[in-house]
Amino acid sequence: NAGVTQTPKFRILKIGQSMTLQCTQDMNHNYMYWYRQDPGMGLKLIYYSVGAGITDKGEVPNGYNVSRSTTEDFPLRLELAAPSQTSVYFCASSAPGRQGNTEAFFGQGTRLTVV
């Protein structure tokens, strides 16, 4: 029962460094999402994908890139880390049904600190 798996769980980056946050799901969901959560705030959508080969920007895409080459994987790339990207990152997946139920399943999160 893996569901949505994110790696790593924690990471400290120096300003200007790059890294990729990995996300994989085993539920054959077509929709996948990346959110970030800052302290005291709700989750904000960074990027999302409605299927393999299709990605689109969310509310806060600047400084990030994504790709979706397979149904299972949706990595998030930070090219030049900045302190403003210090946050907790959540990957999620869903398979919206005909009734519009959009229940999304979330990974455990990646806590990223940029110093």
Query: Which positions touch other proteins (CB under 8 A)?
Result: 4, 31, 33, 35, 40-45, 48, 50, 56, 58, 90, 92, 94, 96, 99-109
Single-letter code of the amino acid located at 37: Q
Upper half-sphere CA count for residue 41 (Cβ side, 13 Å): 11
Which CB sits closer to other proteins, 38 or 79?
38
Beta strands 76-78 and 87-94, pairing class: unpaired
Least spacing, CB of residue 105 vs other proteins, in Å: 7
Least spacing, CB of residue 85 vs other proteins, in Å: 19
Distance CA 20, CA 65 (A): 9
Which CB sits closer to other proteins, 15 or 50?
50
Identify the CA nearest to 1 among candidates 19, 35, 20, 25.
Answer: 25
Least spacing, CB of residue 107 vs other proteins, in Å: 5
Which CB sits closer to other proteins, 34 or 85?
34
